[in-house]
C-alpha cells in the first residue's frame, strides 16, 4: 500500500499533467488555425488568362445583352397583355353585374307573380264559399217550405182517410198511416 505522502504527490503531478495537456491542446489549435491560410494558398491553382478567354468573355457579354434586350421586349409584351386582361376583366365584371341585376329582377318578378297568384286563389276560394252559402240559403228555404207542405199534405190525407176507408187502406199499404 502506498503512503499518503506518495498519494498526494501523485495527485499533484496528475493536476499538473492535466494543465500541461490543456496547454498543449490549445497550442495545437492555434497552430492549426494559423496554418489554414498557408494551406489555402498551396491549393490555389493559377490559371493564365488568354486572348481566347477574353474573346469568349466579350461574346458572352454580347449574348447576355441580347438576352436582356429580348427580356425587355417580352416584358413590354407582357405589360400590354396585362392591360388587355385588366380591360377584359373590367368588361366581364360589368357583364356579370348586369346579369346579376337581371337575375334579381327575375326573382322580384317571380315573387310578385306568385304573390298575385296566391292572392287570386285565396280570393277565388273565398268567393266560392260565399257563393255557395248565398246559393244554398234560398234552396234550404225552399226545401224547408216543401217539407212543411208535405207535412201539411200528410195531415190532410190522414184526416180525410178517417172519413173514407178505401183511402185509409191505400195509405196503410204504403206505410203512411
pLDDT tens profile 79-88 = 999 999 999 9
The pLDDT value recorded for residue 4 is: 67
**Which residues form the domain of 7?**
1-42
Does any domain span residue 10? yes
37 part of a folded domain:
yes
Question: 76-80, 86-90, 109-113, 140-144: which has the minimum mean pLDDT?
Answer: 140-144
Q: Is residue 36 part of a domain?
A: yes
In a domain, 78, yes or no: no
Q: In this structure, what is the dihedral angle of CA atoms 57, 59, 62, 67, given to the nearest 10 degrees?
A: -100
User: What is the reported pTM?
Assistant: 0.38
Side-chain-side CA neighbours of 84 within 13 Å: the count stands at: 6
For the chain, the domain total comes to 1
pLDDT, tens digit (0-9, with 9 covering 90-100), for 43-78: 656 667 788 888 899 999 999 999 999 999 999 999
Is residue 3 very low, low, confident or very high in pLDDT (cuts 50, 70, 90)? low
Residue 32 lies in a domain: yes
Q: Could you tell me if residue 176 is inside a domain? A: no
- Produce one character per residue of 29-49: b if its CB has 16 or more CB atoms within 10 Å, e if not: eeeeeeeeeeeeeeeeeeeee
In a domain, 2, yes or no: yes
CA atoms within 13 A on the CB side of 70: 6
In a domain, 72, yes or no: no
Amino acid at each position: 500500500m502506498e503512503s499518503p505522502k506518495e498519494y498526494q504527490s501523485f495527485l499533484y503531478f496528475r493536476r499538473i499533467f492535466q494543465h500541461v495537456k490543456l496547454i498543449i491542446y490549445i497550442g495545437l489549435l492555434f497552430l492549426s488555425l494559423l496554418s489554414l491560410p498557408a494551406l489555402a494558398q498551396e491549393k490555389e491553382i493559377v490559371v493564365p488568362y488568354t486572348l481566347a478567354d477574353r474573346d469568349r468573355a466579350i461574346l458572352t457579354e454580347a449574348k447576355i445583352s441580347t438576352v436582356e434586350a429580348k427580356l425587355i421586349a417580352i416584358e413590354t409584351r407582357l405589360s400590354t397583355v396585362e392591360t388587355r386582361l385588366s380591360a377584359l376583366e373590367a368588361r366581364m365584371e360589368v357583364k356579370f353585374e348586369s346579369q346579376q341585376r337581371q337575375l334579381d329582377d327575375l326573382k322580384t318578378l317571380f315573387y310578385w307573380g306568385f304573390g298575385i297568384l296566391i292572392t287570386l286563389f285565396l280570393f277565388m276560394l273565398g268567393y266560392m264559399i260565399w257563393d255557395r252559402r248565398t246559393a244554398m240559403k234560398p234552396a234550404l228555404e225552399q226545401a224547408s217550405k216543401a217539407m212543411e207542405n208535405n207535412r201539411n199534405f200528410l195531415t190532410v190525407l190522414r184526416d180525410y182517410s178517417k172519413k173514407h176507408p178505401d183511402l185509409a187502406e191505400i195509405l196503410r199499404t204504403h206505410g203512411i198511416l
